[in-house]
Structure 1
Amino acid sequence: MAETPSVPTFDHAMYLINVVKFRCGQLYHLFDENEFMANLHDFYSEPKPNAATGLWYVHFLLILAFGKGFVKHKVQGNRPPGADYFVKALEMLPDVIVLHEAPIESTEVMCCIALYLQALDCRSSAHNYTYGLKSRMHRLTSLLQIGQAMRMAMAEGMHTQMPIEYLGENMVQRCRKIWWTVYILDREMTSLMGLPQTLNDDQINTLLPSFPGSPQRTAAIGMHIRLSRIIAEINGSVYAIDGRINRNFLVRTKSALANIASLADELRRAFPLQMDRDISGVSRISAYLHLLYHQCIVLATRPLLFCFLKIRFESPANCIEVLNTSRTVRNLIQMSMDSAQQIICILHSLQNEGLLETFLSFDLESIFVSTVVLLMGPAIDIRWTYPIWLEKAYAIFEEIIESGNLLAKFRRSELHLLDELLSCFPQEHPRCLSAPVSFPNNVLNSSSQVSLANSFPPSGQANSADAAAQTQLEHDILSDRGSGVGVPALDDQELGFTNRLTAEQIMAVADSIESIDTEWMSNAMIEHSIW
């Protein structure tokens, strides 16, 4: 059994608790403040606080583990900050029978355990920390914890409209906060594992929690829930059960993009990214929701990159010719590229504000997803080369690594390996696309009223002026690959998010997906054995 770590002083404990509230309290409910703080004061009121054996003390150790993870940027060997508190909390965790005697706090405790384990990436067998958790550290641990929390919450009826007249306002509001935290974690962790969802949304009829004096928090939870549902939908429809790509995934992509588009304008209006630093800083909660939104776009469109990367492997000379066959497909890939760049923009702004999340996996997942896309782009076609954005991406990785995140170091090494593998492609310049596909300075800007479905001329139908412009564009690409095609240098104006996808623009791309595109993509997958 691990030794009980020293308990911090009351002032230090308050500091760590407040850090936890700031870092993840707006996204997840990990403890009830009134009850938790009352127990905290009782604990420190003793002349010499002793290690209790009750559930609250386990809960307290878990919160301290989070606090240490957020504020301590040095690791001891392979032990992440707060590991001592976390290991001790697991050792002292009561058995299931005892947990069911206090289901409300037990569910909060299991959410804490699942979220901490997710921060250590225990869902990945390729990277395993060896700091004393032994057999508990396997890829399903965090998912099993949140699954147990889900069952316990449902057993208490938290997914239903619990009667306020019998339970009281405070209890019902607490249960609503717990339920939606469990729900979001379950949706996101299950999707990360590539597993099917186990709970149908039709079985849930509880309301969102209310926060007196802060209606924005309720709105944030509602948006978080909707984005989590879209992620689950994408993983369950665009991708097949066995982890491969569905043959008719373009049809599912169209549906997913329509759902994403339904949130675009509301997200921008309710959670604006205040990028004018002379007025205000970046909102962490707004940034998180926008990051999740762009991850949805990348997840929905990324299969196309994998398909064409496979084609590039097999038929390097024919890849661009195949790509030019469907302007709809080009639009979708460019949308993926654009969202990857927007993710880096948001993270770069958070980095400037000192708000990068270096312990939990939120920002690490975002930067990893976007960097993979930007590395794949130029391997398919040189027009999708964005070295400035990659430079910014690796700078963000460096900061997360320097903050003591061991997993970020491993993820960066994976990206370097991917970059090396993709660099093995022949270096000759492939044919460029038949028409400009630069979203930031062309069709996807705030003043554009042109439907994306009509923004590209069919292959082989460009007039002489277009051909001359294309020749000049190809010359510009070859002479200066440093800034990317149609993408300005990464300056303060670009970080102001002047080029964001509106609902109308996303729907234009989605509506351009016709049955002929699906059939064409299906045939290409069969021809190149993409399954």
Structure 2
Amino acid sequence: MKVRCSGSQPCTRCARKRHQCHFPLEETRVSVPESYLRELERRYSSTDPTERDVSGTLSMDRAEVQSRTISHGIRSRESLGVAVPLSNTTTGHPHPQEDDHPPLTRGESEQSQDDGGSKFWQNPLVDADYTFAKSPDGRYWYMGPSSSWSFCRRVLALVGKHMAEADSPPDPWHVDGVVFRMRWKPLGFDENPEVTNLPPFDYALFLFNTTKFHFGPLLYLIDEPMYLRNLEEFYENSVAKASISRVWYAQYLLILAFGKAFLGNVTCPGTPPGYQYAVRAMPLLPVLSGLHEDPLLAIQVLTLAAVYFQAIDMRVAAFQHIGQAMRTCLVEGWHRHMPEDVVGTEHSRRCNITFWVVYMLERQFSASFGGPSSIRDEDITAKWPSQTSDSLESWNMTLHVRLSRLTAQILTTVYGVHQAMDGSLIRNTQSMLRDLAELSQDLSDLLHTHFQGSVGKASRMAIRLILSYHHCVVLTTRPLVMCALNMHIDHTRVNNLDAIPLSGPVSSLLQSGAESARNILRILRLLGDDDLMESFLPFQLEDAFSSGFVLHLLRAVAPWLLPDDSWSEDVDCVLDRMISKGNLVAPLRKVELSQLAHIMTPLTPGALHFQSPSPTEERQDDPSMVLGEEEVPGWDLFMGNAIGLDPSQILDLAARLDMDTIMDPVDG
């Protein structure tokens, strides 16, 4: 049932709902990408004035305008594109839209919501019904909307409410710091740090090189020439060096701790290798009392400590320390452009690159914790890394920064707190898809230009870029998975385990999330086979857990999106590999996935691979990543399309979100 406009301004429905009426009758509007509008302006400026009509617009056949507009995706006025009137260029009168699938009007959207489409109308992870949850020890924990840890708690609680108590085991509640909590004694300003029981110089240099190999973009936190000079001075007179350079000594100890952890030689079960060095470093960290003699080194050490805390699942401490590092950057003004002719070229470069590393990690930890970022992108004028250098490393860094900025946009749009029940989830997801399309094009160009279409397993920066890209897709589509789970639970009460009715665009979005999750797990498994997986840093574990969790849910609510169950074996292999290398957090994540699989069993169809009329059948291409042949040994990891969905496919999907009736279910 559709609701037509009453013809008044404002219309009756908008007046009753107290909404602003956006659709006057004077002219029918469509929206086109801004790049297309710029192209029209360029063509207009390049034509002879006699070829222009009296209204000053470029005379074009209306069919051409309409076909090109539709090819970019006809979009509603509330979407993010540039709205232009679609009218007859000779008469100036508007034409009615002739497309068989016109965009939803506001009234039609509201009617779809009334008919049950509200399941996908708003992000269910942002509402207030489970923002604070009580753990078994009586403490209330903040359920950050974008946090994978919180997402696990929400799902276990939701499914548990609809199961018999005997069949629903209690949530293990692996709270912050339960796997390992470091404790240390404060060190007074008049006390000298302990410098005994440290490795010899050659082994300390070996641990530094081990850390250097595993860090990837984090390596920019360490000024290698300066660190090595300080290292030599330390081994010449360790007591004096540690006393006058306490912050550097903390950096040295943290690098020892990271190096030992990366080697993965577990000597004391229940503790990460090298933790004793990290414990000795913590009392030496910069304090909040004021400015530091060497703010650059202070920020770098605080950031290293934040990464270490995140790696041992002390997420609160990690969020606090990366926040302190970002605040110190703001105190120093590094979020603003530092002119080279004022502060010097080298100092400007070091401060710039350190700020962007802190920026990236602060965005990642904000998403992991579920809290807001400390700085708005609008307040940043610091140069992008590629503006200071044309090297491959600079462009890698630039794409990492862009991915972090995209993560922040996901948090403020898809996971934004000020959302009304107006379909904002679909619109915001659509907006992020367009940003992903642009980024995937640049990422594909970089990989094909510098890697000739083949990415080696040891190309840690490139692999991290690809994993981060896919994680953005998973993070963006995860709220829709939660919507589908709610719908599936309600559906099973009446129709047993029949397939839930999903619209084409929603199914396409879920399929995109499923494909990215599967790609993440396949990449990590291949890395693990050659012992190249990051067994201590927290990023790949987060990728594996969030991907496996989403796929477990999709196996129950939309099993036709998963062509096989190979992903389940992949996630087990990845976690087992991390556990064997001494990762203390991976066993907790494996327990949570096992519990999820157990409680989802009653909600999972017996035949996992039945046919369903879904967008899978409509798409002729295979957007999955093309991996190298597994039986051929070597270092090449990817061949061909390493990203997954190409930009045109993502833009096409975004356009369909406007053109299709979003809440119309597929048949079957």
TM-score (norm 1): 0.79
TM-fit CA distance, 1:497 = 5.9
Specify the alignment match of 1:20 in structure 2.
211
Contact 2:457 2:532 in 1 (8 A): no
- Candidates 500, 517, 535, aligned match of 1:358: 535
TM-fit CA distance, 1:30 = 2.1
Amino acid in structure 2 at the alignment position of 1:328: P
Q: Percent identity?
A: 31
Sort the Cα spacing of 1:319 and 1:520 in 2 relative to 1 into closer, same or farther, 3 A.
Answer: farther
Unaligned runs of 5+ in 1: 124-139, 448-486, 522-531
Sort the Cα spacing of 1:214 and 1:514 in 2 relative to 1 into closer, same or farther, 3 A.
Answer: closer
Q: How far, CA to CA, are the matches of 1:170 and 1:489 in structure 2?
A: 41
Specify the alignment match of 1:285 in structure 2.
461
Specify the alignment match of 1:475 in structure 2.
none
Specify the alignment match of 1:505 in structure 2.
649
Greater Rg over alpha carbons, structure: 2
SS of equivalent to 1:239: coil
Amino acid in structure 1 at the alignment position of 2:305: I
1:239 aligns with 2:408: no
SS of equivalent to 2:512: helix
- Candidates 149, 157, 162, aligned match of 2:338: 162
Sort the Cα spacing of 1:243 and 1:217 in 2 relative to 1 into closer, same or farther, 3 A.
Answer: farther
Amino acid in structure 2 at the alignment position of 1:502: D
TM-fit CA distance, 1:265 = 2.0
Q: How far, CA to CA, are the matches of 2:446 and 2:627 in structure 1?
A: 28
Specify the alignment match of 2:491 in structure 1.
315
Amino acid in structure 1 at the alignment position of 2:204: A
Specify the alignment match of 2:135 in structure 1.
none
1:102 aligns with 2:246: no
Q: How far, CA to CA, are the matches of 2:604 and 2:389 in structure 1?
A: 60
TM-fit CA distance, 1:212 = 9.6
Amino acid in structure 2 at the alignment position of 1:289: L
TM-fit CA distance, 1:94 = 4.8
Q: How far, CA to CA, are the matches of 2:376 and 2:297 in structure 1?
A: 25
Specify the alignment match of 2:21 in structure 1.
none
SS of equivalent to 2:505: helix
SS of equivalent to 1:514: helix
Specify the alignment match of 1:33 in structure 2.
224
Contact 1:319 1:380 in 2 (8 A): no
TM-fit CA distance, 1:222 = 0.6
Sort the Cα spacing of 1:498 and 1:218 in 2 relative to 1 into closer, same or farther, 3 A.
Answer: closer
TM-fit CA distance, 1:156 = 1.3
Contact 1:107 1:153 in 2 (8 A): yes
- Candidates 492, 508, 519, aligned match of 1:342: 519
Contact 1:262 1:503 in 2 (8 A): yes
Contact 1:312 1:319 in 2 (8 A): no
- Candidates 46, 49, 72, aligned match of 2:237: 46
TM-fit CA distance, 1:72 = 3.0
TM-fit CA distance, 1:410 = 0.5
TM-fit CA distance, 1:318 = 4.8
Sort the Cα spacing of 1:412 and 1:251 in 2 relative to 1 into closer, same or farther, 3 A.
Answer: same
SS of equivalent to 1:86: helix
Cα offsets for 1:366-422 (capped at 9, x unmatched): 111111122111201332343212112211111011000010110011000000011
SS of equivalent to 2:381: coil
Contact 1:371 1:390 in 2 (8 A): yes
Q: How far, CA to CA, are the matches of 2:297 and 2:441 in structure 1?
A: 37
Sort the Cα spacing of 1:186 and 1:393 in 2 relative to 1 into closer, same or farther, 3 A.
Answer: same
Specify the alignment match of 1:387 in structure 2.
565
Sort the Cα spacing of 1:328 and 1:33 in 2 relative to 1 into closer, same or farther, 3 A.
Answer: same
Contact 2:528 2:574 in 1 (8 A): yes
1:299 aligns with 2:299: no
Amino acid in structure 1 at the alignment position of 2:314: C
Report which stretch shifted further, 499-508 or 205-214.
205-214
Sort the Cα spacing of 1:70 and 1:158 in 2 relative to 1 into closer, same or farther, 3 A.
Answer: same
Sort the Cα spacing of 1:244 and 1:40 in 2 relative to 1 into closer, same or farther, 3 A.
Answer: farther
Contact 2:292 2:298 in 1 (8 A): yes
Specify the alignment match of 1:129 in structure 2.
none
- Candidates 424, 431, 438, aligned match of 1:262: 438
TM-fit CA distance, 1:151 = 1.4
TM-fit CA distance, 1:219 = 0.4
Specify the alignment match of 1:400 in structure 2.
578
Specify the alignment match of 1:76 in structure 2.
268
Cα offsets for 1:88-118 (capped at 9, x unmatched): 1112335334762221111111111111111
Q: How far, CA to CA, are the matches of 1:437 and 1:490 in structure 2?
A: 28
* Structure (1 or 2) with the greater helix fraction: 1
Amino acid in structure 2 at the alignment position of 1:95: V
When the two chains are superposed, the root-mean-square deviation of aligned CA atoms in Å is 3.4
Q: How far, CA to CA, are the matches of 2:273 and 2:499 in structure 1?
A: 50
Specify the alignment match of 1:466 in structure 2.
none
Q: How far, CA to CA, are the matches of 2:282 and 2:530 in structure 1?
A: 35
Report which stretch shifted further, 4-13 or 283-292.
4-13
1:189 aligns with 2:369: no
- Higher RCO (C-alpha under 8 Å, 6+ residues apart): 2
Sort the Cα spacing of 1:517 and 1:238 in 2 relative to 1 into closer, same or farther, 3 A.
Answer: farther
SS of equivalent to 2:220: coil
Contact 2:628 2:638 in 1 (8 A): no
Amino acid in structure 2 at the alignment position of 1:77: P
Q: How far, CA to CA, are the matches of 2:600 and 2:422 in structure 1?
A: 25
1:132-211 alignment runs, 5 A limit: 140-209=316-385
Sort the Cα spacing of 1:340 and 1:5 in 2 relative to 1 into closer, same or farther, 3 A.
Answer: farther
Report which stretch shifted further, 72-81 or 238-247.
238-247
TM-fit CA distance, 1:354 = 2.3
Amino acid in structure 2 at the alignment position of 1:505: Q
Q: How far, CA to CA, are the matches of 2:422 and 2:300 in structure 1?
A: 37
Amino acid in structure 1 at the alignment position of 2:505: T
Unaligned runs of 5+ in 2: 1-183, 186-193
TM-fit CA distance, 1:446 = 7.1
Q: How far, CA to CA, are the matches of 1:410 and 1:288 in structure 2?
A: 23
Q: How far, CA to CA, are the matches of 1:359 and 1:331 in structure 2?
A: 34
SS of equivalent to 1:61: helix
Contact 1:113 1:145 in 2 (8 A): yes
Specify the alignment match of 2:251 in structure 1.
59
Specify the alignment match of 2:503 in structure 1.
326
Contact 1:29 1:108 in 2 (8 A): no
Q: How far, CA to CA, are the matches of 1:370 and 1:163 in structure 2?
A: 43
Contact 2:385 2:395 in 1 (8 A): no
Q: How far, CA to CA, are the matches of 1:437 and 1:492 in structure 2?
A: 32
Q: How far, CA to CA, are the matches of 1:275 and 1:319 in structure 2?
A: 51
Q: How far, CA to CA, are the matches of 2:207 and 2:628 in structure 1?
A: 40
Specify the alignment match of 2:620 in structure 1.
443
Q: How far, CA to CA, are the matches of 1:149 and 1:444 in structure 2?
A: 45
Sort the Cα spacing of 1:302 and 1:194 in 2 relative to 1 into closer, same or farther, 3 A.
Answer: same
Amino acid in structure 2 at the alignment position of 1:422: M
1:212-223 alignment runs, 5 A limit: 215-223=391-399
Specify the alignment match of 2:553 in structure 1.
376
Sort the Cα spacing of 1:244 and 1:362 in 2 relative to 1 into closer, same or farther, 3 A.
Answer: farther
Report which stretch shifted further, 5-14 or 191-200.
191-200
1:248 aligns with 2:424: yes
Cα offsets for 1:16-73 (capped at 9, x unmatched): 1111111114345222122221111111123988753622111211111111111133
